[in-house]
Chain A
Amino acid sequence: MVRRIEKGTVLDHLPAGSALSIMNLLKLEDNLVVVAVNVLSSRYGTKDMIKIEGKLLSKAESDKIGLIAPNATINIIRGGRVMSKGRASPPEEIKGILRCPNKKCITNFEQCETKFIRTGDKYKCVFCESHFSVRDFELQPS
């Protein structure tokens, strides 16, 4: 039932309980996806995993994972082999994929690309200059 994938992505070391949010964020309804939740982990105690067949994540998608799961491992599979293994990290800059939580920010009224810059553990909207932690954002599907 859970076969080896030829081409796709395996997301490992996701925080336990985050798999469904990440699936929703990456809009995976058209892909074959295998999810494991609350798997025992020597490093984190418990973790979630997602195996996505036929999809190689883009930079913007990796950035989104970096927001929710900053320690996730992203394995890219081609020809049945792990071609690259990277660690998701909180992106330095997030363009376009997040709405500004400040209701009075101009970006919520005009069509324009939002942009946030990381300042320590927060993100600053380059327009309204407000700072937000990750949990302040309503993460939009891709």
Chain B
Amino acid sequence: MKLRSKDLISAADLEKREVKAILEEAEHMLGTVRKGRQLKMLKGKILATLFFEPSTRTRLSFESAMTRLGGSVIGFSGTEGTSVRKGETLQDTVRNVENYADGIAMRHPLEGSARLAAQSVKIPVINGGDGANQHPTQALLDLFTIKQEKDLRNTRVALCGDLKYGRTVHSLMYLLPMFGTEISIVSPEVLGMPEHIMDEVEGRYGTRPEKQASLKEAVKWADVLYVTRIQRERFPDPNEYERVAGSYVVDSRLLSGAKKDMVILHPLPRVDEIKPEVDSTPYAKYFDQTFYGVVVRMALLNMLMGGGRHG
């Protein structure tokens, strides 16, 4: 199926039936990738990846997804060497790119940039992160990863870390309750989930995520622990950062209180919030996420730029 909108800008725009369709399409893509089949659904189509700020996984997985669908990719990473440095506006940039490509995947440091870009062109625009606002494709791949591991309906997901500026958790807040997944949140007080998102989620789904007192409590409660990075630059006082960040570290000792089948996800990159000793435990699923990112983006590209049918 095609999505209602020509674009994917915010998880808040998606309906449950659309999310289900994306997950089903991704499941199909997963099968074809595992079989090593080369698909040709987007043969002759060009995706422009416009990354106005750094990215490793999102950009490369979009490029990998497009290539696996038989299409090709143009674009830039960082504004060095582009007319953006000469003061070209975002609107002019995407209007030009529209003449070179059939779709745009973009990341930009300013909130609302993807929505403005989408309004400026006729081709599909996919938001790969707009400031601290939204990162819907990451949230969709997180959801897909959880679905591979758990039954979404009977799962408890604890979101922890920087919930104020973390765009992936903002997107997840809209997607998880669609499937009856229970959410709780745990974060330093200054990095709490924006109240407007809590209010909107409560208004839509009738439940307000509960706050856990500590990471330790969240680990005991959760079936899925979703960890995000606490960034040093968010704290005016470096001592405060050291104090807070130290209490949001996932290590073997903390995991001794976890359910045996709990899984840990992280949108990556991580710095030191998950200790390397955790990587080899059955809890660690964050590298699986990066693989699922490709198949979810294949599904999205096919639905937005192709016919949206399985190949």
Mark A residues whose CB is within 8 Å of B. 100, 102, 104-107, 109-112, 119, 122, 124-131
Contact = CB atoms under 8 A, between A and B. Distances in A.
11 contacts: A104-B132, A106-B115, A106-B116, A109-B110, A110-B116, A111-B89, A128-B112, A129-B112, A129-B133, A129-B134, A130-B111
Interface residues of B, number: 23
Interface in B85-99: 89-91
Chain B CB within 10 A, most for which of A100, A106, A112, A122: A106
B67 interface: no
Interface string B70-108: 000000000000000000011100000000000000001
Contacts of A128: 111-112, 130-131, 133
A104 B91 contact: no
A112 to B, nearest CB: 6
Given A105-B110, A111-B91, A128-B130, 16 more contacts: A104-B109, A104-B131, A106-B111, A106-B115, A107-B112, A110-B91, A112-B91, A112-B116, A119-B200, A127-B112, A127-B116, A128-B112, A128-B133, A129-B111, A129-B134, A131-B196
Nearest to A112: B116
Contacts of B30: none
Contacts of A112: 91, 116, 119
Given A112-B116, A127-B116, A128-B131, A104 B110 contact: yes
Contact of B110 (A106, A122, A125, A131): A106
Contact of A127 (B89, B115, B132): B115
B112 A105 contact: yes
Interface of B: 10, 12, 89-91, 108-113, 115-116, 119, 130-134, 194, 196, 199-200
A113 to B, nearest CB: 10
B111 A105 contact: yes
Contacts, number: 58
A110 B95 CA distance: 14
Contacts of B199: 131
A126 B110 contact: no
B219 to A, nearest CB: 30
Contacts of A106: 90, 108, 110-113, 115-116, 130
Contact of B89 (A105, A110, A126): A110
Given A104-B131, A110-B89, A111-B89, A125 B200 contact: no
A128 B165 CA distance: 13
Contacts of B108: 106
A104 B131 CA distance: 8
Contacts of A127: 111-112, 115-116
Given A122-B196, A131-B196, A104 B111 contact: yes
A102 B133 CA distance: 11
A107 B196 CA distance: 20
Nearest to B90: A110
B134 to A, nearest CB: 7
Contacts of B196: 122, 124, 130-131
B84 to A, nearest CB: 12
Contacts of A119: 200
B120 to A, nearest CB: 9
A40 to B, nearest CB: 38
Contacts of B10: 129
Contacts of A129: 10, 12, 111-112, 133-134
Nearest to B134: A129
A112 B119 CA distance: 10
B131 A126 contact: no
A44 B130 CA distance: 45
Contacts of A110: 89-91, 116
A41 to B, nearest CB: 34
B299 to A, nearest CB: 24
Report which residue of B89, B113, B194 has the largest number of chain A beta carbons within 10 angstroms of its beta carbon.
B113
